[in-house]
């Protein structure tokens, strides 16, 4: 496996972990939204969970890219 392929696998793993963490955070917010005065629907809670997963995946991916960028400049 080349260095470029290894970096792609690492970036995908970081995004996957972030999506899991973001999904868990989104699930917490979604459940709280459902519990709040009964105004939320299952659809809106699902949208919050999905948005959390996307945001978490993106945040971890961008963080990983920034880490790799800084690490390359120090070497």
What pLDDT is recorded for position 34? 67
What pLDDT is recorded for position 51? 80
Q: pLDDT truncated to tens, each residue of the chain (75 aa)? A: 787 787 778 778 777 777 777 777 777 776 676 666 565 666 777 777 778 888 888 888 888 888 888 877 775
CB 30 within 8 A of CB 41: no
Task: Indicate the number of domains in the chain.
Answer: 1
> CB count, 10 Å around CB of 31?
14
What pLDDT is recorded for position 35? 67
**What's the domain range around 33?**
3-74
CA separation (Å) from 31 to 17, 19, 34? 21, 18, 5
For residue 21, give both structure tokens. 């963490």
């Amino acid at each position: 496996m080349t260095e470029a392929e290894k970096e792609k696998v690492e970036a995908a793993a970081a995004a996957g972990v972030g999506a899991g963490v973001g999904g868990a955070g989104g699930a917490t917010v979604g459940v709280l939204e459902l519990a709040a005065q009964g105004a939320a629907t299952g659809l809106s809670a699902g949208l919050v969970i999905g948005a959390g997963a996307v945001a978490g995946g993106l945040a971890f991916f961008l963080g990983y890219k920034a880490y790799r960028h800084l690490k390359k400049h120090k070497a």
